Amino acid sequence: MRSILIFIFSLLFPTVLLAQGPSPSGMIAGKLTDREMNGEPLPFANVIIKGSSSGATTDLNGLFKIEDVKPGVYTLTISFTGYESREINNVEVAAGKVTEINTELGASAAALNEVVITTVSRKDSKIALLLEQKSAVNIKESIGAQELAKMGVSDVAKATTRISGVSGSEASGDIFVRGLGDRYLYTTMNNLPIPSDDVERKNIDLGLFSTGVIQDVGISKTWSSFNSADQASGTIDISSRALSGASELELGIKAGINTNVLDRYENFKLSANRSDVTLGFYNRDIPLQDALNNQGWDPVKDEMPLNRSYSFTAGKGFGDRLRLLFTGSQSTSYEYNKGLFREYGSNNLYDYFTDAEEFSRTDNTTGLLDASLNLNSNHQVRYVGLFVNKLTDEVYESGRNAEGVVFEETNTAEDLNQFIRDQNITQTRLFVHQFHGKHKINSNNHLEWAMGYNTVDAGEPNRIRNELNLDGEGFIQLGRTGGFQQRKSTQQIEDAEFNGLIRDKITFSDPETARFLEVGGNFRNKQRDFYSRFFGVTETSLNSVNPPSPDDLSSIFTTANFENGILRINRLNPEIYEAELQSYSGFATLNYDIGKWNFNLGARYQRDELDVAWAVNNYPSTLPQYVNKKYNNLYPAVNIKYSPSERSNLRFAGSRTITLPEFKEVAPFEYVSQTGQVTRGNPALEASKNLNLDLKYEFFPSNGQLISFAGFYKNIQDPINKVLDRGAAGRLSYFNAGDEANIYGIELETRLSLIDNEDPADIDLDLSLNATRMWHSQTLKDVYNENGSFVRTFRYNNKEEVGLQGASDWIFNGSLSLSTASESPWNITLVGNYASDKIYALGAPEIQTQPDVFYNDEIIEKGFVTLDAVISKGFGDHWSFKLSGENLLNPEIERIQAIRPSSTGIEKVQSIRSYTTGAVLSLGIGYSF
């Protein structure tokens, strides 16, 4: 199948330019105020392009927009009964851009203020995004690159947390929308799915996308039939950057420091693999088995652990037809944390370290190519190519202070403690190829299509792990339990995906009305090959070789010691799984407006088939080694909008969706974290079925301002949870642990202009606040077989109900931005976020017949506050400077667990992981030609 896809792609490649492009037209938008009423908005005024029939009428906020304007220079005529008409000359419109006109009318034209004309990228424009949100059929929120730049946001992962109801988890790295995490989200780029880069996640790491390669990020919190039904909390769509204007040429450089790294600046550790890394790309030229004695085992030192990044953007338009843009960047960032780690099993302490340290260096190389061709005014085509190479070098150490304990490693009488070091390089290479097309068949028929071919090469090429016993006085011995405590391992993921969509929009009667029918379909074929192999080293007899130091292990893993029989190699059979997802769907949506009402009714038939086959070492060979899961459903959706005035909307949305289990949640491969925590899949996992209801009120007081209030409800049948599994401590798996989950929530959002630049001080002061409150619970279930016999229970510690994994009761996001309107503007922004406690993993009973006595309670990630700040200054037409501070409060990241030791019978909350990630201070310089 993969060969067929590659062949198809090779045939398509010559049509690189045949894809949807940014519109060959631009937009004129802005605000008109009333001089006679001290700058109040002026509604119902006419704004006309002189010499044409194109124009608009301002709404109650004084806002207007004229869309589909061909590039050129125009004259605007603005008129209102009883006022002097006004002409604005030299209004330049560029393809794909918004020209903003902010002016006023009065009884005397001679007394009018100057016209303020600015041109911004269409997706960058805050006013354009608000107008899009105001007119959208479904409930959608977006944030543009322009606003993100003000906030000092560096990647899409951070960008999403600036949107109401969205939070991030430091513990898992997941993004949560309304309390629902990775498996309940769906991520696309330009409306096509993009693959995951990590075996542990359904969605791609949004941190891979720097804000330099995006136009905007949108989250649709309600579902419409156009999107895949595999979601419950929303779809995140990344709109990639395209050329704005006639040409672009920009250079940027940034340098900074992590405050935690300063404490280890003279001895910042990198893995022994570092010699195989060049400019952020890893390449090892010998087999892993040969690396046991031909490559080092000891960390090396980084001579300059300073954050730095470089960026370059170049683009040019060739007339009104061909537009090209390339943007590339490379960044290096460092992180260090140190803290506590504990692990409990059945309320008993298993592992304990007071000095768990993590050193991390991340190199990220990104390149985006956008090429669009306007065949004529009715046909536009586009190619988007994205390349990402992310390499993370991590060194984890714990127990150097001779206070570490690993359960059952040594006897208490030996008076030995444990030391663990895990060195790992993870590399992800992602290629995304997209072809888009938009065609205006006639004034009432618009056709859109898209195809994508994506590949992911991700893995851990040479992971090194050592476990030692030591007494703190100089005696060191190799760990002796299991045969793989000294090991090198490799893991590789290869994904290939072919996807596409087609959508035809047929408008009834006047194209300006909102009466239309959309029909179309999607398909997706995704294949994964996964491979893992372990090589361990053990002594022939205990203490036959003793390391002189934890930092000099290479001196004992020598060719001589293997040849003379002191050391021997242990091998595990390779572990593999092969998986394929095939998804086919057809959809139809009818939209009809009647006065102030808009009704949008849709349905989607989607057929999903999941095939997973595996061969892993820790799964009984007597059980099936293959699963096939099929889901064929009709998914309805309704979106209703009532607009009592030009300033407000009342929205209702309802839908049914599905949550499919992921490859990694089904394949029973065991992934071991640096701390020794094991996560494995569950072949018995089944899809969840979701009911989604939303009610939202939006009020737009004036230009660029919003006040909204929303309530939502979700019912999830057979919710999927990460659960502490039975067996050894620290083992996690995935289960349909509850019969159903119910989530109720409310959201409040405000975007206010406290001071606008019409003030004599020429200052903008903007405030954005959003808050979310959720109530959530799920009923834990007992499981019986077809004969009615008890199999297992998910209830524990007298709990029949528990919260939903990943959901916070409270989420707050806020920003305060001050900017000037001078030729060399200042911008100062503060951004804060808070998400309250959330469940990291559900608990579980250890003994099924005594779940209230022998159990592991849920693990909770404590809430914390983050604060970022950015100060930027423009100098003339070319230079810009930016000083930013991220995570300025440097809060403690902590996970806790309730423990009830049998010795006391008294429950006590214990910290099981705690650390800080450090504040990041940086200075950036940019130059645009």
HEC string of 580-602 equals EEEEEEEEEEEEEEECCEEEEEE
CA distance 876 to 873: 10
CB atoms within 10 A of CB 543: 11
Average pLDDT, the chain: 85
CA distance 466 to 463: 10
> Does residue 272 register a pLDDT over 70?
yes
Task: Quote the pLDDT of residue 904.
Answer: 77
With contact defined as beta carbons under 8 Å apart, do 419 and 399 qualify? Answer: yes
Comma-separated ranges of CATH 2.170.130.10 domains in the chain: 135-248
Give the CATH number of domain 249-928; options: 2.60.120.280, 3.40.50.920, 2.40.170.20, 1.10.1450.10.
Answer: 2.40.170.20
With contact defined as beta carbons under 8 Å apart, do 783 and 793 qualify? Answer: yes
Q: Which fold has domain 135-248?
A: Ferric Hydroxamate Uptake Protein; Chain A, domain 1 (2.170.130)
pLDDT digits (tens, 9 = 90+) for 585-630: 999 999 998 888 999 999 999 999 999 999 998 888 888 899 999 9
CA distance 544 to 461: 30
CA distance 723 to 394: 26
Phi, psi for residue 122 in degrees, rounded to 5: -55, -45
> Does residue 117 register a pLDDT over 60?
no
**Of the candidates 339, 180, 308, the residue with the CA atom closest to the CA atom of residue 895:** 339
Mean pLDDT of 468-494: 91
**CA Rg, the chain, in Å?**
29
**Of the candidates 392, 240, 400, 410, the residue with the CA atom closest to the CA atom of residue 326:** 240
Task: Kindly state the DSSP code that residue 669 receives in the 8-state scheme.
Answer: P
What is the DSSP pairing of strand 838-841 with strand 790-793?
Answer: unpaired
Produce one character per residue of 863-875: b if its CB has 16 or more CB atoms within 10 Å, e if not: bbebbbbbbbebe
> Does residue 302 register a pLDDT over 90?
yes
> Does residue 225 register a pLDDT over 70?
yes
Mean pLDDT of 80-106: 80
> Does residue 308 register a pLDDT over 90?
yes
With contact defined as beta carbons under 8 Å apart, do 591 and 662 qualify? Answer: no
- What sections of 152-198 are H helices per DSSP? 156-160
The kind and range of the H/E element at 505 are strand 487-507
Mean pLDDT of 887-904: 89
CATH superfamily of 13-122: Carboxypeptidase-like, regulatory domain (2.60.40.1120)
pTM recorded for the entire structure: 0.82
Residues 6+ apart with CB under 8 A from 913: 171, 339, 340, 341, 342, 356, 675, 893, 894, 895
CB atoms within 10 A of CB 783: 14
> Does residue 834 register a pLDDT over 60?
yes
> Does residue 126 register a pLDDT over 60?
no
Comma-separated ranges of CATH 2.60.40.1120 domains in the chain: 13-122
Report helix, strand and coil shares of the chain as percent, to nearest 5.
Answer: 10, 60, 35
At 671, is the pLDDT very low, low, confident or very high (cuts 50, 70, 90)?
confident
Task: Quote the pLDDT of residue 152.
Answer: 52
With contact defined as beta carbons under 8 Å apart, do 807 and 774 qualify? Answer: yes
pLDDT digits (tens, 9 = 90+) for 691-746: 999 999 988 886 567 889 999 999 999 999 889 886 655 688 999 999 999 999 99
With contact defined as beta carbons under 8 Å apart, do 774 and 741 qualify? Answer: no
Q: DSSP of 422-464, one letter per residue?
A: EEEEEEEEEEEEEEEEEEEEETTEEEEEEEEEEEEEEEEEEEE
Task: Kindly state the DSSP code that residue 542 receives in the 8-state scheme.
Answer: T
Site of tokens 């001579």: 303
Map residue 887 onto helix, strand or coil: coil
CB atoms within 10 A of CB 588: 15
